[in-house]
Amino acid sequence: MQSSSKYTFRPVKVKKTGGFATLVLVAGAIWGGIVFGVDQNGGWNAVLNLASNVTPSTSVSPTQTTPNPGPVTANGDPINYPFGTIQLSVTRSNGKISKVGLIQASASAGRDQAFPSLEQAAISANGTNFGNMSGATYTTDTFKQALNSAISKLP
Amino acid sequence: MHEFNHLEECMGTVFQFSGLSEIDEAEFLESATNTLHKADAIFSLYKPESPLSRLARGETSVSQCPGVVEQVWELCESWAKKTDGWFSAFTPEHTFDPSGLVKTWAAQAAVEKLLEAGITDFTLNAGGDILISDGQSREEFWRVAISKPVSIADAEAGVLTVLDLSGTEFRAVATSGSAERGQHIWNPKSNENQQDFTQVSVIARDIVEADVWATAAFAEGIRSLERINNQAHLEALYVMADGSLQATDGVLALLAKATR
């Protein structure tokens, strides 16, 4: 019996059912607590992902933040994920998040070749930067809440 | 060439336009976002005086509503046929509620405003549904992450996996799930809500198609996998109730390759 650690993969099954292949893998493994995702052009998605690494704060809102005339940049802590390290920076100017950047990203190339190719693809895919994130339609309030928790990390 | 990045609150969510433009985009973004607000004013069921709210209360008829109402009505009917009834704009209370389609329908109309102006290099994130323009030049914007099936405000929020749509026919990803607003999609064929999966992401050539199929799949349950697999130009990735994934045949090829 394999460990039930969320970073431990169970073998990938590729089933043929009714003429179409169904790929089954353990989502827990690729969720893995990975907190990253970068839009180098300051998109909110990266902010939201950064947000997932800090305690949500409801006491700070963008409008309550004292506007700062000059840009202020905060670097997140380097985050280790099972296959590398990532670190994000967030810049605020005039009270708004103006830029989110990736200042460090590494992925250990070439996982053990014994892993099945599908699993390899899923792991690799999760270690890739991206421009947008698709998810269930969030409300404006949820969006602000997620943004606030990222902003609360700024000095 | 300069970057633009615009957030617009509308329809209870946030739309984000990000792209590159040679011309001043402000005027055209305004026209694009006006399109969204106009659609909201007509179709919102949260605004008691909107034509749709009045229609739902039986105070008016489709023919008395603005012309787009009939247009959307017909569009909903054609999607109901294509999805074998799993997409439905008629609620269990028999009122007309096209919200499963209006957000992305309006998003597409908004995008046309930018395209007409010659702004062709951008993406639109319509509250979690993604549209990529044909002229998208920035490599990372061809990559679309799929959220974990938890709220973006959740401490566990983050990325499930990443798709890379560059070099493919696909331009849109839409996700339906219970993470943000609970079980908001009704089952048009019975009173039972499916418990098979918590989230489905549909990859398609346009954002309305992706959105409609994601809504239909969420209503139908995991049997929609075979239905979508039998459709050309459509792929889907499901997060099952136990956390495992299932997908149509083409998804594996769409998973992003490692950057190094």
Q: What is the ipTM metric for this complex? A: 0.85
Considering only residues A123 and A43, tell me which one the structure prediction assigns the higher pLDDT. Answer: A123
CATH number of B2-254: 3.10.520.10
Write down how long chain A is. Answer: 155
Interface of B with A in 13-42 (CB under 8 A): 13-14, 16, 18
Identify whether the C-beta of residue B218 lies closer than 8 Å to the C-beta of residue B184. no
Q: Is residue B129 pLDDT above 60, yes or no?
A: yes
Considering only residues A6 and A133, tell me which one the structure prediction assigns the higher pLDDT. Answer: A133
Considering only residues B193 and A52, tell me which one the structure prediction assigns the higher pLDDT. Answer: B193
CA–CA dist A45, A100 (Å, integer): 9
Residue B3's alpha-carbon distances to A48, B6, B145, in angstroms, are 20, 10, 21
CA–CA dist B173, B223 (Å, integer): 20
B242: which residues sit within 8 A by CB, 6+ positions away?
none
A70 in a domain, yes or no?
Answer: yes
Q: Is residue B98 pLDDT above 60, yes or no?
A: yes
Least confident range of A35-39, B71-75, B124-128, B135-139 = A35-39
At B40 the three-state DSSP class reads: helix
Least confident range of A91-100, B78-87, B217-226, B234-243 = A91-100
For chain B, the domains span 2-254
pLDDT at B243: 77
Q: Is residue A33 pLDDT above 70, yes or no?
A: no
B208 sits in which H/E element: helix B207-220
pLDDT at B244: 76
Residues from chain B that touch A118, judged by Cβ atoms under 8 A, are 252
User: For the residues B203-214, what does the mean pLDDT come to?
Assistant: 98
Interface of B with A in 40-69 (CB under 8 A): none
pLDDT at B100: 84
**Strand-strand pairing, B143-147 and A132-134:** parallel
Q: Is residue A38 pLDDT above 80, yes or no?
A: no
Least confident range of A145-149, B117-121, B132-136 = A145-149
Q: Do B127 and A41 touch (CB under 8 A)?
A: no
CA–CA dist A38, A44 (Å, integer): 9
Residue B98's alpha-carbon distances to B4, B32, B67, B171, B235, in angstroms, are 31, 21, 15, 23, 23
User: For the residues B3-12, what does the mean pLDDT come to?
Assistant: 92
Which site among A45, A133, A149 would you substitute to test the B interface, given the most B Cβ atoms closer than 10 Å to its Cβ? A133
Q: How far is CA B82 from the centre of its chain?
A: 17
Write down how long chain B is. Answer: 260
Which site among A55, A61, A137, A149 would you substitute to test the B interface, given the most B Cβ atoms closer than 10 Å to its Cβ? A137
Considering only residues B182 and B252, tell me which one the structure prediction assigns the higher pLDDT. Answer: B252
Least confident range of A116-120, B22-26, B52-56, B242-246 = A116-120
Which site among B159, B212, B245 would you substitute to test the A interface, given the most A Cβ atoms closer than 10 Å to its Cβ? B159
How many structural domains are present in chain A? 1
Residues from chain B that touch A105, judged by Cβ atoms under 8 A, are 259
Q: Do A125 and B257 touch (CB under 8 A)?
A: yes
B141 exposed, middle or buried (CB, 10 Å; 0-12, 13-18, 19+)? buried
A92 in a domain, yes or no?
Answer: yes
Query: pLDDT tens digits, residue range A60-69?
Result: 333 434 444 5
Q: Give phi and psi for B125, each to the nearest 5.
A: -105, 105
HSE-up of B188 (CA within 13 Å, CB side)? 21
Residues from chain A that touch B162, judged by Cβ atoms under 8 A, are 125-126, 128, 130
Q: The dihedral of CA B69, B72, B77, B78: what is its sign?
A: positive
Range of the domain at A138: 35-151
Question: What count of CB pairs under 8 Å joins A to B?
Answer: 220
HSE-up of B25 (CA within 13 Å, CB side)? 24
pLDDT at B166: 96
Residues from chain B that touch A46, judged by Cβ atoms under 8 A, are none
CA–CA dist B135, B145 (Å, integer): 20
Location of structure tokens 């043929």? A16
A3 in a domain, yes or no?
Answer: no
Query: pLDDT tens digits, residue range A86-141?
Result: 555 566 766 666 655 544 444 443 333 333 444 455 556 766 788 888 888 777 77
Kindly indicate the confidence band of residue B49, based on its pLDDT and cuts at 50, 70 and 90: very high
Q: Do A23 and B251 touch (CB under 8 A)?
A: yes
pLDDT at A49: 38
HSE-up of B46 (CA within 13 Å, CB side)? 7
Q: Give phi and psi for B80, each to the nearest 5.
A: -60, -40
- How high is the mean pLDDT of chain A? 48
CB-nearest partner of B159 from A44, A118, A126: A126
CB-nearest partner of A23 from B127, B141, B245: B245
Token pair of B31 as six digits? 């026209």
Q: Is A137 on the interface with B (CB under 8 A)?
A: yes
Q: To the nearest whole percent, how much of chain A has pLDDT over 90? A: 0
HSE-up of B110 (CA within 13 Å, CB side)? 31
A3 exposed, middle or buried (CB, 10 Å; 0-12, 13-18, 19+)? exposed
Q: Is residue B136 pLDDT above 70, yes or no?
A: yes
B71 sits in which H/E element: helix B67-82
CB-nearest partner of B152 from A118, A122, A138: A138
Q: Is residue B101 pLDDT above 90, yes or no?
A: yes
Which of A18-27, A48-57, B20-29, B150-159 has the highest average model confidence (pLDDT)? B20-29
Identify whether the C-beta of residue B177 lies closer than 8 Å to the C-beta of residue B171. no
Q: To the nearest whole percent, how much of chain B has pLDDT over 90? A: 72
Interface of B with A in 128-187 (CB under 8 A): 128-130, 138, 140-149, 151-164, 173-181
A3: which residues sit within 8 A by CB, 6+ positions away?
none
Q: Is residue A32 pLDDT above 70, yes or no?
A: no
